[in-house]
């Protein structure tokens, strides 16, 4: 024990940020910081050298306070220096003795959900007067201030100002961040190229730019693929029968059977059971675009009761009577409010800790895993329809931007090995989540202080959790590792990159994010090695293989590497990967030697062959 601690400390002295990356800071930052300083980007470092973190390009110090106390829920209070910049909150303890470990807290302010003062003028006792910070990434932080220092007020104000810039009509940090990367992540996804990859245009599907200026549907992308047999006029009519004009367009097409996944929002059936001949015709064309099947499955992500209840609000679902040869299946996934509540409960038991003996029951009672199971099970049903029955599937929920995105993206990951590569996964997120208008701004609440906003919900987090579950069941199937998923999540909140800002493609174009901010993929693609899964066997071994995870609770596990990562006593879940990495490196070195020998041998035999040829 002692040994471990002291070695940790030594390491920390060399590079405190890196050492703590796993426990207290957003992992990936340390890496880019070092890149940063290498590139000679100007950074503002305060005079006090004990504050050891490297500023990002565009990051500026706003406040430094000595004698702050961070109250760690695991290891207790430690005193040190608190720094607030326009990007982050940074705390570094100044240990009283050599033996005490150095505690570092490094949080991008985008992660902050709520800031509150605790204790007032009458507070007695040590550490009872300070600030509580509630984070979107499962942490709560408490900093105690000395009343007599009057340090709390400015800290509180600065925190507010930079965590919630929208409340002050200021811009998010992403607009100040100026780091440049070799590759421009904004170019990762090119809609037409992606459709071409899937073979569109083809005999039955065509690309349309009818929504080029977002005039038909303002929450949809500019480029769609639709059945070739449908005219643009029909699209204009048909979309009127779908909530927010989100009519069915192509997400994915099977390379052989041409069975498709299309996505949309609910039909505007209402209590009276309204019909739209255009919509019925359009749905029929989707079915007919697939010659392999004379049926079409509509997967309504909602519980059937919710779908029925939506009729009262003018929505609803397709009737099997009015839509010919259509079967409708409800996938029983609950709405954003249920998911938010579930995550809140999960946070309660994961942070800081819970009664160990009832741990499993406590996890189950949050229903988080049950929701994950439902999403996975839904995706597997879609996969079965496509793969086994060669039947096309239309997926929708109410608006078709939350549960629908979860299902289509997950089903595509299971069906198509391309989305299991790092680049492919980035494309998948760009396409199914960003371009189809998952409302990231609302769901995450970037930079606004309405922490109890009912529009916030961990829908995207849930999707990444499902991907993690897939990676656990198929350890060799994904090119990227858990760290990649966590990095995406960290920057979902951090507001350092433009990727997850705004609600729709239209807004992103208006804001000109491509030019004014940096893409998260520029950052991740600059150092792909750290995100690689060493067990990934390449596309060859799963090119035909559709992944079929078992959606049983017996296989669904809590993602401890994410939800419990702030607990220093949690063990790392995957020590096997390190070993595999070592073996691969060894293999590579040996191969190199063999190749060298071979090369030498070849050249020498060629020589000797020429010399001795008459003898043969």
Partner 1 sequence: MAEIKTKSKKNFTSYLDSEALNGSEQAILNPKLLSGELEVARARNVLLFSPTSKIKDDNGIAGVLVVTNFKLSFLSFDGSHTSSIYQENIFLGKNDVTLSNIDYIYQMNDRKKRLVAPNIKILSKLDVLHIICKNFRVLKFGFKRSEVGKGKHIAEALAKFAFPNRHNLLFSYNYKENYYNTLRNISMFNKKMDWSHELLRCGATGWRVLSREREDNIPERTLPMHYVIPKTVTEIEYVKLAESFNRSRAAIWVYSLENASLVRMAELIPTITDTKQENKMLELVRKCDPMMRQPCIMELNKCLPSIQEVQASFLKLRELCTPDCTRQFMVQDVRFYTLLDKSCWLFYVSLCLKYSNDAAMKMRGRETVVLQENEGRDMCCVISSLTQILLDPYYRTLNGLQSLIQKDWVSLGHPFSDRLGHVINSDTTEQSPLFLLFLDCVWQLIQQFPEEFEYSETFLTTIWDSTFLPLFDTFQFNSEHDRQYAHKNEHLILRPVWDWGEQFSDKDIVLFTNPLYKKPAEQSRKSMAFLPPTAIPLPGLHQTGSRITMHVTQMATVTNQLPEDRFLEPKTTIRDLELWTQCYFRWQPLLEIKNGGYPQIDLYNRIILSNISKLQQALQSHDFDDLPTPTNESENVINGVGPMPSISSFFPFSGNDTNSNELADILTLSYDLLTDGSIIDGLSLSQIPD
Tell me the catalytic residues.
397
Which of 42, 544 has the CB closer to partner 1?
544
Q: Is 399 annotated as a binding residue?
A: yes
Cis upstream peptide for 201 (omega within 30°): yes
| Position 535 contacts partner 1 (CB under 8 A) | yes
What track of x and - describes contact with partner 1 for positions 310 through 349 (by CB under 8 A)?
A: ----------------------------------------
Smallest separation, CB 607 to partner 1 (Å)? 17
Q: Looking at 152-160, 230-238, 425-433, 542-550, which segment touches partner 1 (CB under 8 A)?
A: 542-550
DSSP assignment of 63-120, as one string? EEEEEEEEEETTTEEEEEEEEEESSEEEEEE--SSTTSPPPEEEEEGGGEEEEEEE--
φ, ψ dihedrals at 64, nearest 5°: -130, 130
Helix spans in 416-497 (H): 422-428, 440, 459-473, 482-494
- Pick one of 49, 122, 452, 569: the residue that binds partner 1 (CB under 8 A): 569
Which of 28, 293 has the CB closer to partner 1?
293
Helix (H) and strand (E) counts in the chain = 21, 14
Burial of 571 (0-12, 13-18, 19+ CB in 10 A): exposed
- Pick one of 45, 579, 605, 608: the residue that binds partner 1 (CB under 8 A): 579
HSE at residue 236, side-chain half, CA atoms within 13 A, is 8
Which of 239, 367 has the CB closer to partner 1?
367
Q: Looking at 123-131, 228-236, 486-494, 541-549, which segment touches partner 1 (CB under 8 A)?
A: 541-549
| Position 197 contacts partner 1 (CB under 8 A) | no
Q: What is the three-class DSSP state of 480? A: strand
Q: Looking at 76-84, 483-491, 513-521, 545-553, which segment touches partner 1 (CB under 8 A)?
A: 545-553
Task: Please tell me the distance from the alpha carbon of residue 296 to that of residue 302, in angstroms, as a whole number.
Answer: 18
- Pick one of 213, 530, 545, 604: the residue that binds partner 1 (CB under 8 A): 545
Q: Looking at 173-181, 233-241, 329-337, 363-371, which segment touches partner 1 (CB under 8 A)?
A: 363-371
Helix spans in 15-49 (H): 16-24, 27-38
| Position 542 contacts partner 1 (CB under 8 A) | yes
Smallest separation, CB 575 to partner 1 (Å)? 6
Q: Looking at 78-86, 145-153, 157-165, 557-565, which segment touches partner 1 (CB under 8 A)?
A: 557-565
Q: Is 398 annotated as a binding residue?
A: yes
Smallest separation, CB 412 to partner 1 (Å)? 18
Q: Is 137 annotated as a binding residue?
A: no
- Pick one of 42, 98, 148, 356: the residue that binds partner 1 (CB under 8 A): 356
Task: Please tell me the distance from the alpha carbon of residue 487 to that of residue 172, in angstroms, as a whole number.
Answer: 19
| Position 37 contacts partner 1 (CB under 8 A) | no
Angle of helix 27-38 relative to helix 482-494, nearest 10 degrees?
80
User: Residue 54 gets which letter from DSSP?
Assistant: P
Write the secondary structure of 165-232 as one string of H (helix), E (strand) and C (coil).
HHHHCCCCHHHCCCCCCCCCHHHCCCHHHHHHHCCCCCCCEEEECCCCCCCCCCCCCCCEEEECCCCH
- Pick one of 5, 309, 550, 609: the residue that binds partner 1 (CB under 8 A): 550
Contact residues for partner 1 (CB under 8 A)? 1, 356-361, 363-365, 369-370, 388-389, 473-477, 534-542, 545, 547-550, 552-555, 557, 560, 564, 569-571, 575-576, 579-580, 582-591, 593-595, 597-598, 601
Q: Which residues are annotated binding-site positions for substrate?
A: 310-313, 335-336, 397-403
């Amino acid at each position: 024990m002692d040994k471990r601690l002291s070695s940790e400390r030594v390491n920390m002295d060399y590079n405190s940020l890196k050492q703590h990356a796993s426990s207290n800071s957003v992992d990936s930052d340390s890496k880019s910081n070092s890149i940063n300083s290498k590139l000679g980007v100007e950074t503002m470092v305060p005079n006090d050298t004990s504050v050891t973190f490297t500023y990002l390009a565009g990051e500026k110090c706003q406040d430094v306070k000595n004698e702050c106390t961070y109250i760690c829920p695991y290891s207790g209070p430690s005193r040190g220096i608190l720094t607030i910049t326009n990007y982050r909150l940074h705390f570094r303890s100044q240990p009283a003795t050599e033996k005490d470990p150095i505690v570092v807290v490094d949080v991008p302010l985008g992660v902050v959900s709520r800031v509150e003062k605790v204790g007032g003028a009458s507070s007695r006792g040590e550490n009872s007067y300070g600030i509580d910070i509630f984070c979107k990434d499962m942490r709560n932080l408490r900093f105690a201030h000395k009343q007599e220092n009057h340090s709390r007020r400015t800290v509180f104000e600065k925190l507010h100002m930079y965590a919630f810039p929208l409340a002050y009509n200021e811009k998010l940090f992403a607009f100040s961040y100026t780091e440049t990367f070799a590759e421009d992540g904004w170019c990762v996804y090119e809609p037409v190229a992606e459709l071409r990859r899937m073979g569109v245009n083809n005999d039955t599907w065509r690309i349309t730019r009818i929504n080029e200026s977002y005039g038909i549907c303002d929450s949809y992308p500019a480029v769609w693929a639709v059945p070739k047999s449908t005219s643009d006029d029909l699209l204009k009519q048909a979309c009127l029968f779908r909530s927010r004009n989100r009519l069915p367009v192509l997400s994915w097409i099977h390379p052989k059977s041409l069975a498709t996944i299309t996505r949309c929002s609910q039909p505007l059936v209402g209590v009276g059971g309204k019909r739209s001949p255009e919509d019925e015709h359009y749905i029929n064309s989707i079915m007919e675009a697939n010659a392999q099947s004379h049926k079409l499955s509509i997967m309504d992500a909602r519980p059937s009761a919710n779908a029925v209840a939506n009729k009262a609000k003018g929505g609803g679902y397709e009737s099997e009577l009015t839509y010919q040869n259509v079967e409708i299946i409800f996938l029983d996934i609950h709405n954003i409010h249920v998911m938010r509540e579930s995550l809140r409960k999960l946070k309660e038991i994961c942070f800081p800790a819970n009664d160990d003996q009832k741990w499993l029951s406590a996890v189950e009672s949050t229903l988080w895993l049950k929701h994950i199971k439902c999403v996975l099970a839904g995706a597997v049903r879609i996969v079965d329809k496509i793969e086994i029955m060669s039947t096309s599937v239309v997926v929708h929920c109410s608006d078709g931007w939350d549960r629908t995105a979860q299902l289509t993206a997950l089903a595509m990951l299971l069906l198509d090995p391309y989305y299991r590569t790092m680049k492919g996964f980035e494309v998948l997120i760009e396409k199914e989540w960003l371009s189809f208008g998952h409302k990231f701004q609302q769901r995450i609440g970037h930079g606004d202080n309405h922490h109890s906003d009912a529009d916030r919900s961990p829908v995207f987090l849930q999707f990444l959790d499902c991907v993690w579950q897939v990676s656990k069941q198929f350890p060799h199937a994904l090119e990227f590792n858990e760290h990649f998923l966590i990095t995406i999540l960290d920057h979902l909140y951090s507001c350092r990159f433009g990727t997850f800002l705004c609600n729709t493609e239209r807004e992103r174009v208006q804001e000109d994010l491509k030019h004014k901010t940096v893409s998260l993929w520029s950052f991740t693609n600059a150092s792909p090695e750290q995100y690689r899964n060493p067990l990934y066997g390449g596309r060859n071994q799963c090119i035909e293989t559709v992944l079929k995870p078992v959606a049983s609770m017996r296989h669904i596990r809590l993602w401890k590497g994410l939800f419990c990562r702030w607990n220093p006593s949690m063990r790392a879940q995957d020590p096997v990967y390190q070993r595999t990495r070592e073996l691969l490196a060894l293999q590579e070195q040996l191969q190199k030697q063999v190749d060298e020998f071979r090369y030498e041998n070849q050249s020498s035999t060629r020589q000797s062959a020429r010399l001795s040829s008459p003898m043969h």
